[in-house]
Amino acid sequence: MNPLPTLDAVRPAATEKTARPGPDFASTSVPRHLARGALGFGLVIGSVALVPVAGPATLLAAPLALIAFRGCPTCWMVGLVQTISRGRLERRCADGACTLAKAHPHPGGTPGT
């Protein structure tokens, strides 16, 4: 007799549910997100382009781009996709497989959290 339960005995029943949201890099609006991107890319390009003119001290402006991007440029791109798709797509997981589907309309037109 084994006193420890098997994995099958403790596995919850498979039910359809909305998956837990992951990190959120989205902005409140697409124009605001694009402005953050323009600032971030401008800081990176400007700091590298000004090295021959003003010396290596201009590279100190590059880390400020990380603040504008809320991380790296990849984080900014993920945030752009999240901002565009916010409220339009929803991830659903059932039986261990997750899919992306159109979101159900929410009462009052605002997506819930």
Residue 39 maps to a domain = yes
Residue 83 maps to a domain = yes
Domain count of the fold of the chain: 1
Residue 96 maps to a domain = yes
Residue 21 maps to a domain = no
Q: Which helix (H) or strand (E) holds 39?
A: helix 30-49
Residue 65 maps to a domain = yes
* 3-class state of residue 22 by DSSP: coil
Residue 15 maps to a domain = no
Q: Read off the pTM.
A: 0.58
Residue 3 maps to a domain = no
Residue 17 maps to a domain = no
Q: What is the pLDDT of residues 45-103, one digit of tens each?
A: 999 999 999 989 999 989 999 999 888 899 899 889 888 887 677 778 888 888 877 77
Q: What is the pLDDT of residues 20-33, one digit of tens each?
A: 556 677 888 889 99
Neighbouring CB atoms inside 10 A of 44's CB total 20
- Unique residue bearing structure tokens 């400020």: 64
How far apart, in whole angstroms, are the C-alpha atoms of residue 110 and residue 101?
Answer: 17
The domain in which residue 54 lies consists of 26-109
- Unique residue bearing structure tokens 């916010």: 86
